[in-house]
Structure 1
C-alpha cells in the first residue's frame, strides 16, 4: 500500500491538497512502514490542475492524507479508488502511524468549499 501525505514545507501536513507540490510517499507492507520518500510535482501536475489523472509520481497511491481539500478533489479521489483523509494532525509520520493503527482523527470534507478562482468570477 502507498500513502501520500501533503507536505509543502517537508515538515508538516499541508492544508490545501490541490495546490501542494511536495508529498511524502510511505510504502506500507503488512501494516508497517517500510519506506518513505519525498516527491515533487510540477505546477502542471498539481492535483488542482491535473483533473484527468494523477501525476506519475503519485500514481499507485491508495490513501492521500491532507490538512484540507475541496469536495471536487475529495470526490475524484474516491471515484479513483483512493481514500482521501483530512486531518488536523500536523506531523506526517504521526498521521501515518495513527492511520495504520486506525485511530487518526479525520475531518469531513467541507461541501460549501469554493475554489478561490470561482469566488472572484463575475456573475
Structure 2
C-alpha cells in the first residue's frame, strides 16, 4: 500500500493540498513501513497549476492532508485513491494510527 502525505515543510501534515509541492510517500507491507521518501515538484507542477505532480506521486492508494478542495478530492477519487483529511499533523503518528487500525 502506498500512502502520500502533504508536507510542505517536510515535518508536518500541511493544508492546501492543491498548492503543496512537497509530499512524503510511505510504502507499507504487512503492517510495516518498508519505504519512506520525499517527493518535491516545482510550483508549476502542483495540482493547482498543471497537475503534473500526480504522475510523480503514483502509484498511491491513500492521499492524506489537513485540508483540500472538493475538485481535487473528486479527481483523486475518480482514479481510485482514498482521500483522508485529518486533524493529525504528525506524519509518523498518522501512519502508526493507520497501521494499528488495520
**What's 1:27 paired with?**
27
Structure 1 position 77 matched with structure 2 position 76: yes
Kindly indicate whether structure 1 or structure 2 has the higher relative contact order, using CA contacts under 8 Å at least 6 residues apart.
Answer: 2
Please give the alpha-carbon distance, in whole angstroms, between the structure 1 residues aligned to 2:53 and 2:21: 12
Cα-to-partner distance string for 1:2-28 (whole Å, 9 max, x where unaligned): 100000001011111110000000011
Q: TM-score, normalised by structure 2?
A: 0.90
User: Which runs of 4 or more aligned residues in structure 1 lie more than 4 Å from their structure 2 counterparts after TM superposition?
Assistant: none
The number of aligned residues is 102
Cα deviation for residue 32 of structure 1 reads 1.2
**What's 1:109 paired with?**
none
Cα-to-partner distance string for 1:55-80 (whole Å, 9 max, x where unaligned): 33201111110011011111111111
For structure 1, the 5+ residue unaligned runs are 104-123
Assess if the C-alpha contact under 8 Å between 1:65 and 1:85 holds in 2: yes
| Bigger radius of gyration | 1
Cα deviation for residue 100 of structure 1 reads 2.4
1:1-123 to 2 correspondences below 5 Å:
1-51=1-51, 54-102=53-101
Q: TM-score, normalised by structure 1?
A: 0.76
CA-atom RMSD in angstroms: 1.6
For structure 2, the 5+ residue unaligned runs are none
